[in-house]
Structure 1
Amino acid sequence: MKVDANMQAMQNIGTMQQVSANNLANVSSDGFRASTAVQQGDRISISADARAAGVNTAGNPLSNSNVGREMVNMSVYSASMGANVGVIRSQDDMEQALMALKK
């Protein structure tokens, strides 16, 4: 059973949620550079987002956070977390059924 793989996936999803939450929290912070979290295999890499930021009337850079994109990401991460929880529950139910058969 691959419970460990699902637990790792949930940790990665949690990290990606934290990155999006930070981007959302700083959407109004002038000069804030949003981050991007990308999963590659079982690893997460976090890097500065390459999107250009606008400037305010004083010529200072604005945040390059994109509220719409981050909200979509949060919805996807929430669904992914729920799916992994469902898989772990199913695996647990299967193991319990197998243990009952052994008795």
Structure 2
Amino acid sequence: MPEEPTQPATLPSGIVDECSALSVDQLQELAKYAESLAEYREREKRLEGEDESSDEAPDDRPDEVPTGASVTVKEINDNRYRYWQWRDGDKIKSKYIGPANPDE
């Protein structure tokens, strides 16, 4: 029988205690939410200029993409795609560039 996973040392014990009381379905929903939240926060961080590790921006920036836009890579169904991303008020807008690997 497999062993129960070890609690990550970086998580507060209260979170771990709460998670142990959740059903399998609730844990799966929590995992999806946590992944989405992490992606959102990474994107926010990039858009605010706190993350200096950006991909090189293509030279062919479309007219509708503002000069402050950054390039982000999104994985969808095990494929990686590049998008322009920028903030427009409270919204984050995106425009598809192409595959992250030009050979794809």
> What TM-score do you get using the length of structure 2 for normalisation?
0.34
Task: Specify which structure has the higher proportion of helix.
Answer: 1
> What TM-score do you get using the length of structure 1 for normalisation?
0.35
Task: Specify which structure has the higher proportion of strand.
Answer: 2
Larger Rg: 1
